[in-house]
Amino acid sequence: MIVRPVVEKYAEEVSSPAPSWLAALVADTEAETDLPAMMVGSLEGEFLAAVVFALRPRRILEIGTFTGYSALCMARAMPEGCELHTCELNPLHVSIARKHFAASPWAESIHLWEGPALTSIGDLPGPFDLVFVDADKPGYIDYYEAVLPKLSPHGLLLADNVLQFGGVANERDQQPDTVAMRAFNAHVAADPRVRQSVLTVREGVSVIRRVG
């Protein structure tokens, strides 16, 4: 947690709860995967839904599906006709996500691309009105560079886990993911093509938009 645990818990309690139908996906994720904590959770899931609600995107790209939690949080707020493309490498994660996408009301609107995300991004034409980056941390700069030209002029790019529970601000923390996130944050901060706002939501979420 970045904020004090008691405050994080309070924020979760007074934020709208996750829809009850997500419980089956959470149960499968906890039973079948090693790291169920990779799901964005109810607080950030509701934040993503609010962004989709306000932005009214035509096309969304997610990098890092896992078992589909964040994709379904975004899907439930999509306007009519919106399509969501999501990229995942791990076959177990793909199979769980496919099962829950198929059972959802958005089965026709969600397109899951199996394989390395950079390859899938290369195959997918833009523009995207919303991009959510939540895959391997050392890949973030490459994902950013690959998707920025495909971000629509009024689109948003959200990058998850950018503060690594605050570790980025502690130079003694040299864990690979923390080092990667420090490099990503500095890369975006120095990029004159964009403006970014780094929010202390959960592990840190950057809100990035193009300028000019």
Q: Which stretch binds ligand SAM (CB under 6 A): 53-61, 65-73, 144-152, 162-170?
A: 65-73
Does residue 194 bind ligand SAM (CB under 6 A)?
A: no
Residue partners of 52: CB distance under 8 A and separation at least 6? 60, 74, 77, 78, 82, 130
Determine if 104 is a binding residue for ligand SAM (CB under 6 A).
no
Q: By CB neighbour count within 10 A (0-12 exposed, 13-18 middle, 19+ buried), where does 54 fall?
A: exposed
Query: Which phi and psi angles does 137 have, rounded to 5°?
Result: -65, -40
Residues in the chain: 212
Fill in the DSSP letter of residue 37: G
Q: Which of 42, 46, 69, 121 touches ligand SAM (CB under 6 A)?
A: 69
- Does residue 144 interact with ligand SAM by CB under 6 A? no
Does 137 bind ligand SAM (CB under 6 A)? Our answer is: no
For residue 46, state whether it binds ligand SAM (rule: CB under 6 A): no
Q: Work out whether 64 is an interface residue with ligand SAM (CB under 6 A).
A: yes
C-alpha span between 48 and 132 (Å, rounded): 9
Intra-chain end-to-end CA distance of the chain, in Å? 35
Q: How far is the CB of 134 from ligand SAM (least distance, A)?
A: 4
User: Does residue 38 belong to the site contacting ligand SAM (CB under 6 A)?
Assistant: yes
- Select from 59-67, 165-173, 181-189, 195-203 the region that touches ligand SAM (CB under 6 A): 59-67
C-beta closer to ligand SAM: residue 63 or 82? 63
Stretch that binds ligand SAM, among 88-96, 146-154, 168-176, 195-203 (CB under 6 A): 88-96
Is 145 in contact with 163 (CB distance < 8 Å)? no
Q: To which H or E segment does residue 59 belong? A: strand 59-63
From the list 25, 13, 20, 27, the residue with the least C-alpha distance to 71 is: 25
Q: Is 141 in the site for ligand SAM (CB under 6 A)?
A: no
Residue 204 interacts with ligand SAM (CB under 6 A): yes or no: no
Q: Interface with ligand SAM by CB under 6 A: which residues?
A: 38-40, 64, 66-67, 69-70, 87-90, 93, 116-117, 134-136, 139
